[in-house]
Structure 1
């Protein structure tokens, strides 16, 4: 890796060391409004987990729909917040708190447990042949949960002429810490270009409850280790990731881990790999 690799990654992910929060909110709301108008869509759809990322993206989406309705003297634009629990969600209270904060145009709940269990049943013969370890099976099922959630969101968007919002931001993008074709799949990503602490700053600025702004991030996909903190899974803290994305000096160990993860997960940030993909990173 060259000495400029950090700068190349920062440029690719469009992160900045400092942001004007008021300007960022306005810019991202305008982006959502423009996306709706350009696509001739009437809805924005987002799976609301109760974490700071979906809370922030959801609030921006509701603001965009409210502004379009005011500008066009209509009620046709709506933000649809979809709860997507697998059975009973451990932090359901946080999700409900996020809903109360956002006040979405429409609230829906689709429990994905039957979808995931159905795939387990359909693949039962393969599982018996492969005989994966319990951890491998749990990890794969966790990815299936993320993909089931995205399938449900696209179903809702299809029924209601909507666009699906993703919550990807710089700290997730650099680490590839998302499920390919799961939470990494979406039509528009209004948080792109922000790091994790900047997402928290936007959430606080928008008035999100403090417990959600500072909530410990967790993917909560694996049943063997529910509510496992992202930082534990990554082996790197979000502060370290954000420092790197802001162009600050970080330890050689952190730099190596991040650049290795970025290289290994490039396929997640691109379309299908072809002969013409440039992986010179």
Structure 2
């Protein structure tokens, strides 16, 4: 877990904002579009984008969403619009789209696989909506994934919340996200909320799904990067290290670039 005494929040803040501004300028786009979930990652990402002074579109996209998520998302959007004149918002209710989709595709008797496929479908419908809005307004889709999610355990939907143009906070672990979000005055309700992907229409947290919290996963990520193995730990530490290692292994297809079958030159 990152030491708050050594974390240089303002320097990191300015670095990311400059990076965003330079990227958008070089790409010749108008600004950014961010999906707002009511969680800390999207709140931080949208605040960083807003600081560039470029148009920043915050989009709430409920699909049978838990009321607590919707309330936090709306609180953040209202606060951001009050702080930054370049922020505007849209609400895209994807619940009827999702229900129509379910009517048009075959179901499955395997309830676990069905529920996971439908959860990922929610994320992909949101990605499609963000790119639609980005297209008509000339905006880049800003990703909201942090380092542990994107490069540690692969806790995101491929071509869902993983389908983005840029990733401004993907080199920050969760404890760093918390510190920077607090520095940038993200609403307290978001700072203290349990992280959740919001893909199941209830209040289940990321920890409920993964079996470990982000502080534990961050610890395991550091241990693995330092060459530790399961034999180095016991008890809860061994359990967490095993959870992290399993997810890191099975989600390499998300973490690594798409494999390309290279054809020998003398075949063509």
Q: TM-score range by the shorter chain?
A: 0.7 to 0.9
What per-residue deviation string (whole Å, max 9, x for no partner) do you get for residues 191-249 of structure 1?
A: 011111110111100111222112101112124xx110101110111111122344588
Paired position in structure 2 for 1:40: 28
Which whole-Å CA distance do the structure 1 matches of 2:65 and 2:200 have between them?
14
Q: 1:228 aligns with which of 204, 207, 216?
A: 204
SS at match of 1:118: helix
Q: 2:66·2:203 contact (CA, 8 Å) conserved in 1?
A: no
Q: How does 1:181-220 map to 2 (within 5 A)?
A: 181-220=159-198
Cα RMSD of the aligned pairs, angstroms, is 2.1
Which whole-Å CA distance do the structure 1 matches of 2:221 and 2:179 have between them?
16
Q: Say whether residues 1:254 and 2:240 are aligned partners.
A: yes
What per-residue deviation string (whole Å, max 9, x for no partner) do you get for residues 2-47 of structure 1?
A: xxxxxxxxxxxxx987631111111111111011101100020001
Q: 1:43·1:78 contact (CA, 8 Å) conserved in 2?
A: yes
Compared with structure 1, are the counterparts of its residues 88 and 194 closer, same or farther at alpha carbon in structure 2 (3 Å cutoff)? closer
Which whole-Å CA distance do the structure 2 matches of 1:275 and 1:26 have between them?
40
Q: How does 1:22-33 map to 2 (within 5 A)?
A: 22-33=10-21
Which whole-Å CA distance do the structure 1 matches of 2:220 and 2:257 have between them?
25
Q: 1:41·1:163 contact (CA, 8 Å) conserved in 2?
A: yes
SS at match of 2:216: helix
TM-score by length of 2: 0.84
Which whole-Å CA distance do the structure 2 matches of 1:47 and 1:53 have between them?
10
What per-residue deviation string (whole Å, max 9, x for no partner) do you get for residues 172-202 of structure 1?
A: 1211111110011100111011111110111
Paired position in structure 2 for 1:99: 77
Unaligned runs of 5+ in 2: 263-268
What per-residue deviation string (whole Å, max 9, x for no partner) do you get for residues 67-126 of structure 1?
A: xxxxxxxxxx30000110114542221111111222262110111112222221221xx3
Q: 2:124·2:159 contact (CA, 8 Å) conserved in 1?
A: yes
Q: 2:80·2:87 contact (CA, 8 Å) conserved in 1?
A: no
Paired position in structure 2 for 1:171: 148
Q: 2:252 aligns with which of 239, 249, 266?
A: 266
Paired position in structure 2 for 1:115: 97
TM-score by length of 1: 0.81
Unaligned runs of 5+ in 1: 1-14, 67-76, 277-281
Q: 1:180 aligns with which of 158, 162, 167?
A: 158
Paired position in structure 1 for 2:37: 49
SS at match of 1:163: strand
Q: How many residues align?
A: 244
Q: Say whether residues 1:61 and 2:49 are aligned partners.
A: yes
Paired position in structure 2 for 1:140: 117
Q: 2:218 aligns with which of 242, 246, 259?
A: 242
Q: 1:175·1:261 contact (CA, 8 Å) conserved in 2?
A: yes
Q: 1:43·1:161 contact (CA, 8 Å) conserved in 2?
A: yes
Which whole-Å CA distance do the structure 1 matches of 2:220 and 2:65 have between them?
37
SS at match of 1:168: coil
Which whole-Å CA distance do the structure 2 matches of 1:78 and 1:213 have between them?
25
